[in-house]
Amino acid sequence: MEELKECLIAVQTCSEVLEVMEADFVGLAIQNEVGPDVRWHCAAGNITDKYKRITVRYGKGIAGRVISSGSPMMITSFPENILGKSTDYPIMLAEKLVSSFAVPLFFNGIPKGVLLVGHRNGIHKFSDEEQQHIKKYALLLEEAIKSHIHL
């Protein structure tokens, strides 16, 4: 897979989502071409570059779980009321997020990516409208980066 940080449209979309959703962090994770691991490729609003080094296993972390289940995932008040330990959510720790909503990106009908939108301050429950908005951006991203994804 080509480096998505060099894919201008992916970076621009992340920045647009950050602005439109008034979020603190937006990240795009894609499953590696070889092996099941999932890596964060680009982000907007990040406070560190830790996301570049984070790789989660298929089924682990938010990105791994969203890809393995093919369903969205919402966290409203991290680290409270979470499944497992706080260390199972490295991107929430790295970016000091308190709430997040992550949706899968499908390529040829297979979940291979994740778009995550997060907030750092206070409990935030993503409304139905916000969720739909993020899903629409996920569809836009699928279309924009599908030529970079080799299945």
Partner 1 sequence: MRNPMGLLPEKQEISSYIIQSQEEEIKRIALELHEGVGQSLYSMFTGLQFIEAGVEQPHLKSYIKEMSQIMEKTIQEIRLLSVELHPPTLTTLGLLPAIKSYVKLYTSTFGIEVDIKSIGEERSINESSSIAIFRVCQEALSNIAKYADISIVKMTFIWSEQSLQINIQDYGRGFEINEIQSFGIAAMKERMFLTGGDCVVSSKIGEGTSIEISLPLKVEEEQRGVNIDQNSAS
Q: Is 86 one of the binding residues for partner 1 (CB under 8 A)?
A: yes
Cα-only R_g, the chain: 14
Q: At residue 28, what is the residue type?
A: L
Q: What angle do CA 76, 47, 11 make, to 5 degrees?
A: 90
Taking CB under 8 A as the criterion, the residue among 12, 32, 69, 87 binding partner 1 is: 87
DSSP state, 124?
-
Interface of this chain with partner 1, residues 106 to 145, rule: CB under 8 A: none
Smallest gap from Cβ 145 to partner 1, in A, equals 22
Taking CB under 8 A as the criterion, the residue among 36, 76, 107, 146 binding partner 1 is: 36
Spatial distance between the Cα atoms of 98 and 71, rounded to a whole number of angstroms: 20
Smallest gap from Cβ 69 to partner 1, in A, equals 15
Site string for partner 1, 37-76 (x = CB under 8 A): -----------xxxxxxxxxxxx-----------------
- What's the token pair of residue 13? 């979309």
Strand intervals (E) in 49-141? 55-56, 73-75, 99-107, 110-119
Residues forming the site for partner 1 (CB under 8 A): 36, 48-59, 86-87, 90, 93-94, 96
